[in-house]
Amino acid sequence: MSRAYPGPPGPARPDRDGDQQLRLLEDAWEKAVPFWHDDIARQFGTHHWLPLRHESRLYLEALHAMMDVLDAAVRDTE
C-alpha cells in the first residue's frame, strides 16, 4: 500500500513529529490556494485553516514545554 503523503510509517507522534506534520498541512494548503479562488476557499482559509494552524502551533508549543518538564522530572528521579 503506497502512501499519499510523505511522512513516518505508522501513527504520528505529535511530541516527535508534530512540527513536521503541521508543515505538511501548510504545504498542502499553499499548493491548493492557487487553484481555489471562490468564496468557500476564502471562508475555509479564514474560518477554518488559520484558526486550526494557530491552535495547532499553540498545542505543539505546550506539548514541547510539557515534555521538557517530564524529561526534567525523569532526570531528577534517576
pLDDT tens digits, the chain, 78 residues: what are they?
444 556 556 677 888 889 999 999 999 999 999 998 899 999 999 999 999 999 999 999 999 999 999 999 999 998
Task: Report which of 69, 73, 64, 74 is spatially closest to residue 15, judged by C-alpha positions.
Answer: 64
According to the model, what pLDDT value does residue 5 have?
A: 55
CA distance 33 to 57: 21
According to the model, what pLDDT value does residue 7 have?
A: 59
Evaluate the CA torsion angle 45, 48, 51, 53 in order and state its sign.
negative
According to the model, what pLDDT value does residue 49 have?
A: 96
**Residue appearing with cell numbers 468557500:** 40
Q: Name the DSSP class of 49.
A: I
Going from the C-alpha of 14 to that of each of 38, 59, 60, the distances in angstroms are: 33, 9, 7
Give pTM, 2 decimals: 0.74
